[in-house]
Chain A
């Protein structure tokens, strides 16, 4: 077992996902198969190999700190599940 059901539930929880009974069962086997398969990379000798952070040599990209027109509030509001007086509304956080 590369990853047991408890670890799957815990990992899902880290990603803010909750799994149904069915999903837990299905993922248990599938994720083990997948993780076992990707462990093929352990055959590679990477002792003198640098990780590929970028495909090409790139450097930091800067832009001018200029004021520009941004997306207007109305179109933001249209996509929000709950929006009142310029605020996104969420359930109470502080008791």
Chain B
């Protein structure tokens, strides 16, 4: 049953020499294939590579040269993070056979501490989506109810951690893609400050919003993994050159004296059960010594239009690189260069990706640029200022993560706008570049997980982790009956 242990539990067991890395790997190799046929959390799971890397780790430990206390623990990786020698598809036909010739910086950082790659997880194609239904490898399922979505776009990573297919995972979050699936799957997921974690080797969707973060079944595990991947990287010019103070072992779960803001706008139109669960948690924090302060984030209602103009504009530019020439899918029926581009891109990209490329191209095209793109950038400034104001008065902002619990597969797939609107509570953090965490707060009457979001000012990950740990301490531990 080693596959049910968390990152820090495994680390302690390894440290006491009660288990070996090979035993951990074998536990996953026994558990994952059958579970994956139900959940579809992994696009690529390679038992041979996993066991070989685990045996190497065991040799390091037995010769006294373990790379860290985490040496030998496997972690699941979202399939838009480049892994040298292991295909990285972005759940797209256009990268179906792409084998990166280099590792993302986060992978190098994991390897430097001896962590192993459990596998590559399912996602919405190029991270565009909120349900992991837009995957050319088929939708991932929610471990709490396989007729429902795990959320997205990092749905595979969230589902893998929830269904004990990995102790922890990496994902990426552009508009909520870590926090929303974490909420739907009943795990903890953190999106750090923009620039806190290197994006080198993360396949770009919307570069001014993308950020890599972590999933765990506990706040401590998510924090411990984030601690490993955080830090400056000269290969990413947007990575911030400042010392990271993120520390899992320094978390003590105290909120005494912390000022917690509750934004009225984040409680409008929320499912009544979610609202009541979150409000109970706010009361619990107050009883534990937090000061609760009502606040307003008045530009919240503009976050979705601003986001979908900026993100699609950046996407249309970023995805111009897929041309069928140097790597990726090339259509077999091409007669000249122009048709090579047209056919390869049209056959290689899925529906949602094409939709976003067209919107982005439209808003950047001559005659529309000022009215749409530049206007959205100005709207973004207003949203950033909204948070600046708020954080001059509070240390953390608390809210639900989602307006509903996990919805049914297919429920929103014919109405993209409705799907976009479901991101209302997570998108602002990306626009402002601030960190946000989703921590499980309980189950609704259908037995589906409810997530609680805590946002903090730039570089205040440790503070929101502290609040999250306190929330966690007031909750009964949940896990799927799968």
Chain A contact residues, CB within 8 Å of chain B: 3, 7-8, 11-12, 14-19, 23, 26-27, 30-31, 33-35, 37-44, 46, 49-56, 58, 61, 63, 71-72, 75-76, 78-82, 88, 90-93
Contacts and interface: CB of A to CB of B under 8 A. Distances in A.
B342 A88 contact: no
B250 interface: no
B42 to A, nearest CB: 22
Nearest to A79: B327
A3 B371 CA distance: 14
B237 A61 contact: yes
B195 interface: yes
A11 B361 contact: yes
Interface of B: 97-99, 101-102, 194-195, 208, 234, 237-238, 240, 299, 301-302, 304-306, 308-309, 316, 320, 323-330, 334-337, 339-343, 345-346, 349, 351, 354-355, 357-362, 365, 372, 374-382, 384, 416-417, 420, 432-433, 458
B234 A63 contact: yes
A19 B346 contact: yes
Contacts, number: 162
Given A8-B358, A91-B334, A44 B302 contact: yes
A16 B342 contact: yes
A15 B358 contact: yes
Contacts of B195: 55-56
Given A11-B365, A17-B357, A79 B351 contact: no
Contacts of A76: 101, 326
B458 to A, nearest CB: 7
Contacts of A7: 362
B299 to A, nearest CB: 8
Contacts of A3: 362
B458 A46 contact: no
Given A55-B432, A58-B238, A35 B358 contact: no
A12 B351 CA distance: 13
Nearest to B377: A51
B346 A18 contact: yes
Nearest to A72: B101
A79 B98 contact: yes
Given A34-B420, A75-B101, A81-B325, A52 B377 contact: yes
29 contacts: A12-B361, A14-B361, A15-B320, A15-B360, A18-B346, A26-B351, A27-B354, A30-B416, A30-B417, A31-B355, A38-B309, A40-B302, A41-B376, A43-B302, A44-B299, A44-B375, A52-B380, A52-B381, A53-B377, A56-B240, A71-B101, A76-B326, A78-B101, A79-B97, A81-B325, A81-B327, A90-B325, A91-B334, A91-B340
Nearest to B102: A71
A14 B365 contact: yes
Contacts of A61: 234, 237
Contacts of B345: 15-17
Contacts of A12: 354, 358, 361
- Please name the 5 residue pairs, one residue from A and one from B, whose CB atoms are nearest each other, closest first: A55-B433, A51-B377, A75-B101, A81-B330, A46-B378
A5 B437 CA distance: 41
Contacts of B379: 41, 44, 46
Given A17-B354, A38-B372, A79-B99, A51 B306 contact: no
